[in-house]
Amino acid sequence: MDRSYWRTVSLVTLWQVSASICYYTVFAATPFFRDAFGLSRFEVGIVVTTLTLGYAIFLLPVGALTDRVGERRTLSLGLVGLGAGVVLVAGAPTYALLLAAVFLLGSIYSTAMPGTNKAVYDAIEPGRQNTAMGIKQVGVTGGSGISALLVTGLAGVFFWQIGFLIAGVVAVAVAILFYLAYSGNEGGATTLPDFRGLASNRPYMLLASAGVFLGAALFTTTGYTVLYMEESIGSTVAFGGVVLAAVQLFGSLGRLLGGWLADVLPGEPRSRIGGILIVQTLASVVLFVAVTAASTETGAALAFSLLGFFVLGYTGVYYSCMATLVPASEMGSATAGCQLALTAGALVAPPAFGYLADTVDYRTAWLLLAAGCLVAAALLVVVIRTDPPVEKVAMME
């Protein structure tokens, strides 16, 4: 692979790592929010939902903006905004202001998926795009894992906000580097995005529907791992942070393997990529059940790590599957729609999970996520059996 390929992949992945460090500090800090503001499990879920609500509201307009002005500008400005947002979260003196700060942080993170996905499909030729997507998506799990260690590891030595402040400084530095070094698309579409056309694309809409359940599983897992390890398994917060980091590490491996398999396996792109996604989804069902059966720190850490491999490992394949359904000219808008679907699940599931954990037990809450993944798998079967109404899709042979 040539230098141009690795330059693009490295810059986009570095951007994604830095952005995800900022965004996922909120997930790693849930025990500290609970202690600092005296929150119930349900109120912890509201923090996660508020973060993803900001993300959801701005996804479609930011996706359209990315198609119009290009990813270089939106990604550079977005990372500066994330650096500022994470500092505001750290400095929030009340629960209400914490919710306002996480809403702002989530809204700015909406630059991530439309911009980075557009960069992959604009700058990288077919045959390498799935692998590049898998590498880029490792930036999400890698950044989340780093944030887990950063927030929980340094809290015991200094104060719990120190990890947030470091994340903000790193984000601004990487934003400057990205703006100076990235030479991708400066301008995108000259027309408004065809949201009506996307809505009439049946397999695309089915994929987005599956994404609601997949997003519920992903974001709830990352939002409650540390708290579950502390409250149900009896581990320390620091050990819970290590487990969350392991979940992200295994998720990174799952994304790399999924992207590589999507490039090298034989068969028609939609069928082979959709098939990989179905396997990841069904394996997640089994491992949610395994989490409920674990009773020791070691057993729970192993169950969560394997769960991370599949439930956090699907996102690169999810977007690759999307690219077999839509044209390249609408990648920003289509990505925003699919990411909005993932986020919709994250809006509802964390509070529902927390409510069930408060009123029934954690086991019931984890099984709810398993049931959602079963529904997602059924929808994905229909996706790979339905031809999209598009002459030329972004993911070509």
Residue-wise pLDDT tens digits, 41-86 = 778 778 888 887 888 788 778 777 777 777 777 888 888 999 988 9
Q: What confidence score (pLDDT) does residue 184 get?
A: 64
Task: Tell the burial category of 218 from Cβ atoms under 10 Å away from its Cβ (0-12, 13-18, 19+).
Answer: buried
Mean pLDDT for the stretch of residues 142-158: 74
CATH of domain 3-182+196-385: 1.20.1250.20
Please answer whether residues 187 and 120 qualify as being in contact, where contact means their C-beta atoms are separated by less than 8 angstroms: no
Q: pTM to 2 decimals?
A: 0.71
Mean pLDDT for the stretch of residues 305-322: 88
Mean pLDDT for the stretch of residues 369-379: 94
Domain ranges for the chain, please list them.
Answer: 3-182+196-385
Task: Look at 122-136, 153-167, 312-326 and tell me which has the smallest mean pLDDT.
Answer: 122-136
Q: Quick one: which of 335, 273, 332 has its CA closest to 126?
A: 273
Q: Quick one: which of 164, 223, 232, 233 has its CA closest to 43?
A: 223
The residue assigned the tokens 């056309």 is 197
Q: What is the mean pLDDT of the chain?
A: 82
The residue assigned the tokens 């959602």 is 372
Distance CA 389, CA 318 (A): 19
Please give the sequence-ordered ranges of beta strands (E in DSSP) within 115-179, or none if there are none: none
Q: What confidence score (pLDDT) does residue 397 get?
A: 46
Q: What confidence score (pLDDT) does residue 150 get?
A: 76
